[in-house]
Amino acid sequence: MNNESLMARLAQFVPPFWPKNLVEAGVVKNLTLEQDILVISLVLPFVDYQLEASLQRLEAELCQLSGAKQVKWQIRSDVATLAPGNEAQPISGVRNIIAVSSGKGGVGKSTTSVNLALALKALGATVGILDADVYGPSIPMMLGVTDGKPLSDDGKTMTPISAYGIKANSIGFLVGAGDATIWRGPMASKALSQILTETRWGDLDYLIIDLPPGTGDIQLTLAQQIPTTGALVVTTPQNVALADAIKGISMFNKVKVPVLGIIENMSYHTCSQCGHQESLFGEGGGQRVSNQQQVPLLGQLPLVASLGKDMDEGHPTVVAHPEGELAALYLALAARVSLSLYFTSTPVPTRLYTRLV
């Protein structure tokens, strides 16, 4: 078996949405020939979606080069710890923090945060979510755990709530559903920092933080105090939402948090009767902002009535309809977010971050 020829062929293959080929990305770990089966081991420092399906187009050539009768792919993820964009202290056990923001409310930021977290989990990552919207916490309802109460056995730290295989915490768990949260910016920022640092998250590949909408004092303080690895900006195609999305990108640039990309929500609506697609809120807006601000457009998600129903019932779409078209869009989005995070950030030695045993 000629390993050089095999590696040369693998070096020509760039999987969908990867900026590098398999060899440049450093994911090819081993090539062995076992009883006419070519075994190729790949270890990914991120999670991906349908990678093995895209690799199948290589199999005939690889068999010819190696003399094997078939190819067996061994693919696993070992998510890398990446450097945060700021100098905030890392959170014990948490490898990467992704902030999900929006310049204005009503664009589906929290819905996107929850389904993104569940999609990352479905792709094999360990995931947590922090609801940082102190004035309108919605994550407990969306995850179907409104009665959840974080427990504390030492009076200093608390255990997060588990839902659908991810860990969650929110001011909504700590304040009664009918109680208004009336805090000034500094109080809200301090409370959220405490929730983040005093929660026993355990080992997480990704912690999703659902930020409040806007670009005010709370968002700026959190962006500076939390060791954020990267940020996502959720918008709709409407011009008023796009203008606020640009402000969000500018905010993260000022605090030196990498903007991983834009997610355009409610991009189009598909008629359930005839299948006709219509752009209810305009079209092309996310791409225009992407071009103008030089950040990727990571996904365009449709306006679907069942999505809101799923979230209201506390049974998010990714887990309610895992084989559905919308779930597939979220899985693809999660993979692109993971890829963008890895290829735009700097891997750091694991020893710099406290990992829990």
Q: CATH number, domain at 12?
A: 3.30.300
- Provide CB contacts within 8 A for 205, sequence distance 6+: 47, 79, 95, 96, 120, 125, 126, 127
Q: Which of 333, 355, 334, 337 is nearest to 345 (CA)?
A: 337
- pLDDT (0 to 100) of residue 355: 31
CA separation for the pair 180, 186 (Å, rounded)? 17
Q: Which of 246, 253, 295, 247 is nearest to 86 (CA)?
A: 253
- Of the three residues 42, 77, 112, the one that is the final residue of a domain is 77
CA separation for the pair 350, 174 (Å, rounded)? 33
Whether 82 is covered by a domain: the verdict is no
Whether 169 is covered by a domain: the verdict is yes
Whether 251 is covered by a domain: the verdict is yes
Q: What angle do CA 62, 63, 66 make, to 5 degrees?
A: 85
Any idea what the CATH number is for the domain that residue 223 is in?
3.40.50.300
- pLDDT (0 to 100) of residue 251: 87
Q: Are residues 186 and 327 in the same domain?
A: yes
Query: What separation in angstroms does the CA of 15 have from each of 85, 121, 215, 253, 305?
Result: 27, 21, 36, 29, 33
Q: Give the single-character DSSP code of 282.
A: B
- Of the three residues 45, 77, 109, the one that is the final residue of a domain is 77
Whether 86 is covered by a domain: the verdict is no
Q: Are residues 124 and 44 in the same domain?
A: no
Q: Give the single-character DSSP code of 123.
A: T
Q: Answer for the pair 109, 102: CB distance below 8 angstroms, yes or no.
A: yes
Query: What separation in angstroms does the CA of 22 have from each of 17, 19, 45, 55?
Result: 12, 10, 12, 10
Q: Answer for the pair 29, 44: CB distance below 8 angstroms, yes or no.
A: no
Give phi and psi for 37, each to the nearest 5.
-115, 120
What is the spatial order of strands in the sheet that 28-34 belongs to? 28-34, 37-44, 70-77
Q: Are residues 32 and 156 in the same domain?
A: no
Q: Answer for the pair 237, 278: CB distance below 8 angstroms, yes or no.
A: no
- pLDDT (0 to 100) of residue 353: 36
- Provide CB contacts within 8 A for 169, sequence distance 6+: 128, 129, 130, 131, 150, 158, 160, 161, 195, 199
Count of domains in the chain? 2
CA separation for the pair 131, 110 (Å, rounded)? 8
Torsion angle, alpha carbons of 82, 88, 92, 94, to 10: -40
Q: Are residues 57 and 133 in the same domain?
A: no
pLDDT 10s per residue in the chain (357 long)? 678 899 999 999 999 999 999 999 999 999 999 989 999 999 999 999 999 999 999 999 999 999 999 999 999 999 999 988 777 888 989 999 999 988 777 888 999 999 999 999 999 999 999 998 877 789 999 999 989 988 888 888 999 999 999 999 998 887 765 554 566 666 777 778 888 999 999 999 999 999 988 777 777 777 778 899 999 999 888 776 778 888 889 888 888 889 999 999 888 777 666 666 766 666 777 788 888 888 899 998 888 888 889 999 999 999 999 999 999 999 999 999 999 999 987 676 443 333 332
Q: Are residues 72 and 144 in the same domain?
A: no
Q: Are residues 14 and 140 in the same domain?
A: no
Torsion angle, alpha carbons of 13, 286, 260, 317, to 10: -90
Look up residue 199 and give its two tokens. 């929660």
Whether 85 is covered by a domain: the verdict is no
CA separation for the pair 152, 135 (Å, rounded)? 24
Residue spans of alpha helices (H) in the chain? 3-10, 51-55, 59-66, 109-122, 139-142, 171-174, 185-198, 217-225, 239-254, 285-293, 305-312, 317-320, 325-344
Q: Are residues 50 and 150 in the same domain?
A: no
Q: Are residues 112 and 203 in the same domain?
A: yes
Domain that holds residue 318: 94-352
On the CB side of 146, CA atoms within 13 Å amount to 13
Helix, strand, coil shares, percent, the chain, to 5: 35, 20, 40
CA separation for the pair 202, 169 (Å, rounded)? 13
- Of the three residues 77, 109, 127, the one that is the final residue of a domain is 77
Whether 84 is covered by a domain: the verdict is no
Q: Are residues 104 and 72 in the same domain?
A: no
Q: Are residues 190 and 101 in the same domain?
A: yes
Q: Answer for the pair 120, 230: CB distance below 8 angstroms, yes or no.
A: no
Whether 193 is covered by a domain: the verdict is yes
CA separation for the pair 269, 265 (Å, rounded)? 11
Whether 288 is covered by a domain: the verdict is yes
Q: Are residues 177 and 38 in the same domain?
A: no
Q: Are residues 251 and 119 in the same domain?
A: yes
